């Protein structure tokens, strides 16, 4: 198994856990758990592969990824009630998933010889779009769009850090830098309230 396969597998498993946790908040049945977990797990990577014309899509080439997502859904279905705050657990698992999925997207784009701008965008898309699909389907406020929080910006910074690191490091260590930068920024936003300025409308002139 290659480094990219490992990153995809880790992202699939952790994102599937977050999807199943959102399904538990929506009180879905086991099939609903499996569906939301799988959608979350492979959504970003699927869009990445379609845009990059990777044929077949990663989970079609290796259907075991879907089995991993379903297994995560089953685990959460029988254990979600044990956690006092599922929202807090969801938020931190999502941060971990973001930090794994962004370098996975960057690595795939690099492996297919893409322009640096496409590498940047594929890192962000792989990290953010599965969670966005999850939240929209389950009628949750998308974590990716929460006011001022470092989420999209953490993904952009992580992907950008990987590109910068490639000037002095091989691909593997550069992807580790990507993961660390992404997680540190997202964790800092959650722990210390790191924010970007948000737009504030001004009262109309009289």
What average pLDDT score do residues 110-116 get?
Answer: 96
Q: Which residue has the tokens 């859904």?
A: 73
Angle subtended at Cα 7 by Cα 6 and Cα 12, rounded to the nearest 5 degrees: 100
Q: DSSP for the chain?
A: --HHHHHHHHHHHHHHHHHHHHHHHTT--HHHHHHHHHHHHHHHHHHHHHHTT-SS-HHHH-THHHHHHHHHHHHHHHHGGG-S-HHHHHHHHHHHHHHHHHHHHHHHHHHTT--HHHHHHHHHHHHHHHHHHHHHHTTPPPGGGSTTBSSHHHHHHHHHHHHHHTTTS-HHHHHHHHHHHHHHHHHHHHHH--B-----PPPPP-
Instruction: Work out the number of other CB atoms within 10 angstroms of the CB of residue 103.
Output: 33
What is the tens place of the pLDDT at every residue in 59-107? 999 999 999 999 999 999 999 988 868 889 999 999 999 999 999 999 9
Host domain of residue 112: 3-192
In a domain, 150, yes or no: yes
pTM higher than 0.85: yes
Q: Does residue 124 belong to any structural domain of this protein?
A: yes
In a domain, 205, yes or no: no
| pLDDT for the residue numbered 200 | 79
| Residue at 202 is within a domain | no
What pLDDT is stored for residue 206 in this prediction? Answer: 65
DSSP one-letter string for 99-150: HHHHHHHHHHHHHTT--HHHHHHHHHHHHHHHHHHHHHHTTPPPGGGSTTBS
- Confirm whether 201 is domain-assigned: no
**Predicted confidence (pLDDT) per residue in 147-156, tens digit:** 778 999 999 9
Q: Considering the domain boundaries, does residue 54 fall inside one?
A: yes
200 within a domain of the structure (yes/no):
no
Total structural domains within the chain: 1
Describe the crossing of helices 171-192 and 152-165 by its angle, rounded to 10 degrees. 150
Is 177 inside a domain boundary? Answer: yes
């Amino acid at each position: 198994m290659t480094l990219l396969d490992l990153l995809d597998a880790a992202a699939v498993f952790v994102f599937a856990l977050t999807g199943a946790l959102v399904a538990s908040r929506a009180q879905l049945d086991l099939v609903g758990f499996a569906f939301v977990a799988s959608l979350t797990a492979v959504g970003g990577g699927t869009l990445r592969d379609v845009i990059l014309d990777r044929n077949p899509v990663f989970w079609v080439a290796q259907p075991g990824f879907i089995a991993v997502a379903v297994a995560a859904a089953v685990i959460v279905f029988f254990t979600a009630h044990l956690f006092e705050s599922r929202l807090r657990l969801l938020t931190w698992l999502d941060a971990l998933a973001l930090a794994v999925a962004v370098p996975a997207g960057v690595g795939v784009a690099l492996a297919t010889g893409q322009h640096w701008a496409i590498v940047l965008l594929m890192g962000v898309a792989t990290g953010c779009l599965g969670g966005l699909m999850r939240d929209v389907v389950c009628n949750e406020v998308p974590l990716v769009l929460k006011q001022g929080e470092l989420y999209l910006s953490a993904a952009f910074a992580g992907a950008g850090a990987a590109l910068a690191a490639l000037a002095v490091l091989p691909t593997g260590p550069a992807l580790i830098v990507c993961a660390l930068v992404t997680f540190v920024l997202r964790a800092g936003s959650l722990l210390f309230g790191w924010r970007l300025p948000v737009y504030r409308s001004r009262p109309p002139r009289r």
